[in-house]
Amino acid sequence: MSEPLSWIFAALFVLVAIAWYLSYSAARLDRLHVRLTGTLAALDAQLVRRAEASVELANSGLLDGATALILAGAAAQTLETSQTAGEAREIVENDLTDALDIALAPDVVDGLLARGDLGEEYLARLTSTCTRVQLARRFHNDAVTDVRRVRRTWVVRVFRLAGHTPMPATVEFNDELPAHLVT
């Protein structure tokens, strides 16, 4: 009589171990998705700060009219699309980076620095926000990579632990500072 009972306990142990592993895998995937949501929110916040700093520089009166108009237009476009994702957002962020490259040419930066503390303050804020955008984008893309790696495992696919959540995509746009601003 103890022989069938030991088989039942062995089978029960295996089922409990499988259930625990599935639960652990689902919880891990959930934590990664929560992290992904947080990194995307942080990236969005940093992109908005970069656009706001660009608008402030454009409206400061320290740039010539045409340059200020280009920079303000690109920053406004970015702020208008701040709640969207995907290719449209990446295009406007690339446009803002291009506008910053135009607005912060070496001679313009030298002129801003020559104006004293005010010019230095605008440049420091813009440099800081651009650096934070780079970091936030890297953190987000790392989180996407982690989620994709876990979602490719056989346990997640076979038992559909991700549910109907779409596969996340990395965010790719040019977020580099002009070379002469990098310290």
pLDDT (tens digit per residue) in 85-128: 778 889 999 999 999 998 888 888 877 777 777 888 888 999 99
Q: Is 146 in contact with 60 (CB distance < 8 Å)?
A: no
pLDDT: which is higher, 179 or 103: 103
What average pLDDT does range 12-27 have in this prediction? 96
Burial class (CB in 10 A: 0-12, 13-18, 19+), 71: buried
At 105, give phi and psi (nearest 5°): -65, 155
Highest mean pLDDT among 5-14, 27-36, 75-84: 27-36
- pLDDT at residue 182 in the model: 64
In angstroms, the CA 36 to CA 135 distance is 14
